[in-house]
Amino acid sequence: MVHEYNKSPINIRKGKVFLDGIEVMDSVTCTINFTPDTWAGRQLGEQTESRRWLGYAITGSITRRRSTNWLKEKIMEYIRTKRTPELTIQGYMDDDNSDFFQAHGTDLITCVGCVLTGDLPLTRLDSNGQIVDDVINFGAKDIV
C-alpha cells in the first residue's frame, strides 16, 4: 500500500511559451489573464448588488531575456506594411509531478488574435545592469 503524505502543487518553473508555434526559449515568465466586464446594480429594496458578466478581456505579459530580434522584426514589419501583427500565444504547464497534472494532465491555454500593447523595447542600456529582461504585454481576441 502506497501512502501519500505530501501535497504536490504545480511547480511554475515547469512550462513553455510558444509564439506562433515557435517555443520562446528565453522566456522567464508568462501570465495570461481573463478579466470579466462586470455589470453591478440593485433594485429598490435590495441590500446587495446583483452582478453579471457582459463580456471580457484577455490580456497577458511575457518576460523574456532578449536572445533574438523577433520583436524588432515585428515592429519593422508594421512600419513597412501598416498592418497590425497578430500572434497566437500559448502557455503550457506540464509539471508531471504535480497533483494538478495527475488529475487533469497538461494545462494548455491558446490565445488567438494577440496584439502587442504598451511600450515595446527596442534597446535597453544600463551601466549598473546585468542582463536584459523585456516585458512584452498583449491583448488577445479570444482563447481556444
Half-sphere exposure of 91 (CA within 13 A, CB side): 19
CATH fold of 16-37+52-143 reads Pnp Oxidase; Chain A (2.30.110)
Q: Are 106 and 93 in contact (CB under 8 A)?
A: yes
How far separated are the first and last CA of the chain, in Å rounded?
41
Percent of the chain with pLDDT over 70: 97
Neighbours of 121 (CB within 10 A): 14
> To the nearest whole number, what is the mean pLDDT of the chain?
89
Q: Which residues contact 70 (CB under 8 A, 6 or more apart)?
A: 19
CA 94/CA 22 separation, integer angstroms: 17
**Stronger pLDDT, 128 or 30, i.e. the higher one:** 30
Minimum mean pLDDT range among 12-16, 60-64, 109-113: 12-16
Going by pLDDT thresholds of 50, 70 and 90, the confidence category of residue 79 is very high
φ/ψ of residue 60, rounded to 5: -170, 180
Which of residues 52 and 129 earns the better pLDDT score?
Answer: 52
Tell whether the model's pLDDT for residue 106 goes beyond 80: yes
The C-alpha atoms of residue 74 and residue 69 are separated, in whole angstroms, by: 9
Q: Are the beta carbons of 47 and 53 closer than 8 angstroms?
A: no
**What pLDDT does 4 receive?**
67
Would you say residue 15 has pLDDT above 60?
Answer: yes
